[in-house]
C-alpha cells in the first residue's frame, strides 16, 4: 500500500519535471533523434515508455551504457509519455539534451 | 555523455554489402565533411572471416584457414552498431581517406590491414572480433 502511494507521488513529480524541461530546456523526441543525441554525446538522460518494443529498448540501453548516460523507464506507455510532454502524439523515447531549469537529471536516474 | 565512436572501437556494419560484418573504427568524422555532411567513420572490417582452426590441422592448412579478407569503407554513423569491444590494431598509417580515392591505393590499404588482422588473429587475442556474427 505504501509502495503504491510512493510510486504515484514520484510519478507525478517526474511529470512535473518533464513539463519544466519541455518549457525551458532542450529535448528530442523519437527513436532516431535519441540515437543521434547519444552518438554525438549530447543526450543527458533518456526516457523510454513501457510499451517500447524490447529490441529497441535494449538497443537504446546499450547505447546509453556505452555513453554512460542514465535511462529512465517511464511508468506509462507512449501515449502517456506524449501527454506528459504536452504533445498530441505518441512518444516512445525521448532524450533530454539540456534540462533548463529542471533538476530531472539529478533526481530521476536513481531508479534507472 | 562519453563519446564512444572513437578510433579502435569495434562496430558492426548494419547496411550495405557488408551488413553484419564486424569492423574497427580507424578515424571518425563527427561533424562530417563537405562531401559528406553527416557524421561518418572510416572503418576497416572483415569481408571474409577466418575459418575455425583445429589442433589436428597441418601447418599449411592452418595458414590457409587463417586468411582474412578485409574491406575499407566510409560508413555513416547511423549504419553502424557500436559494441563494447575494442581492437587496438594500429591502422592509422595504413588506412586513410585518400587511400579510398583510387582503386590500387584501396587494394594496397586492404592488403596491409589484411596482414595486421591476420597476425592479430594468429595470436588468439580479440577472439570475438574474428568470429562471424550469427543472425
Q: Contact B45/B23 with Cβ under 8 angstroms?
A: yes
As given in the structure block, the three cell numbers for residue A1 are 500500500
Say how far apart CA A5 and CA B76 lie, in whole Å: 47
Yes or no, beta carbons of A40 and B39 under 8 Å apart: yes
Closest Cα in chain B to A63: B82
Give the helix/strand (H/E) hosting B80: strand B80-86
Strand partners, A72: A47
Mind listing the pLDDT tens digit for each residue in A39-88?
999 999 999 999 999 999 999 999 999 999 999 999 999 999 999 999 99
In chain A, residues with a C-beta closer than 8 Å to the C-beta of B76 are none
Residue closest to A94 by CA, chosen among A37, A40, A38, A30: A30
Q: What distance in Å separates residue A66's CA from the closest CA in chain B?
A: 6
Give the helix/strand (H/E) hosting A62: helix A54-67
| Predicted confidence (pLDDT) at residue B53 exceeds the cutoff of 60 | yes
Mean predicted confidence (pLDDT) in A84-98: 95
What chain B holds in terms of domains, given with CATH numbers, is 9-130 (2.30.30.770)
The CATH number assigned to the domain holding A55 equals 3.30.1330.30
Q: Contact B133/B13 with Cβ under 8 angstroms?
A: no
A58 is in which domain, residue-wise? 2-101
Angle among Cα B39, B20, A49 to the nearest 5 degrees reads 65
Q: Does some domain include residue A112?
A: no
Total structural domains within chain A: 1
Q: Does some domain include residue A65?
A: yes
Yes or no, beta carbons of A69 and B30 under 8 Å apart: no
Q: What distance in Å separates residue B107's CA from the closest CA in chain A?
A: 31
Mind listing the pLDDT tens digit for each residue in B89-120?
989 889 999 999 999 999 999 999 999 999 99
pLDDT band at A5; cut points 50, 70, 90: low
Q: Does some domain include residue A109?
A: no
Amino acid at each position: 500500500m505504501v509502495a503504491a502511494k510512493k510510486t504515484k507521488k514520484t510519478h507525478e513529480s517526474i511529470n512535473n519535471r518533464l513539463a519544466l524541461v519541455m518549457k525551458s530546456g532542450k529535448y528530442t523526441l523519437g527513436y532516431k533523434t535519441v540515437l543521434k543525441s547519444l552518438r554525438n554525446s549530447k543526450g543527458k538522460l533518456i526516457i523510454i515508455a513501457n510499451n517500447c518494443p524490447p529490441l529497441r529498448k535494449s538497443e537504446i540501453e546499450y547505447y546509453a551504457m556505452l555513453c554512460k548516460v542514465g535511462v529512465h523507464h517511464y511508468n506509462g506507455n507512449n501515449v502517456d509519455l506524449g501527454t506528459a510532454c504536452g504533445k498530441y502524439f505518441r512518444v516512445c523515447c525521448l532524450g533530454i539534451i539540456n534540462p533548463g531549469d529542471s533538476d530531472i537529471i539529478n533526481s530521476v536516474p536513481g531508479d534507472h | 555523455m562519453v563519446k564512444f565512436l572513437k578510433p579502435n572501437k569495434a562496430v558492426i556494419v548494419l547496411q550495405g554489402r557488408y551488413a553484419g560484418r564486424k569492423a574497427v573504427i580507424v578515424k571518425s568524422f563527427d561533424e562530417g565533411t563537405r562531401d559528406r555532411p553527416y557524421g561518418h567513420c572510416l572503418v576497416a572490417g572483415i569481408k571474409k572471416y577466418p575459418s575455425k582452426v583445429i589442433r589436428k590441422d597441418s601447418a599449411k592448412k592452418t595458414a590457409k584457414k587463417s586468411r582474412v579478407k578485409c574491406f575499407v569503407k566510409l560508413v555513416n554513423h547511423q549504419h553502424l552498431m557500436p559494441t563494447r569491444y575494442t581492437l587496438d590494431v594500429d591502422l592509422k598509417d595504413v588506412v586513410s581517406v585518400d587511400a579510398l580515392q583510387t582503386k590500387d591505393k584501396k587494394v594496397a590499404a586492404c592488403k596491409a590491414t589484411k596482414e595486421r588482422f591476420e597476425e592479430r588473429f594468429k595470436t588468439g587475442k580479440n577472439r570475438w572480433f574474428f568470429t562471424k556474427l550469427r543472425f
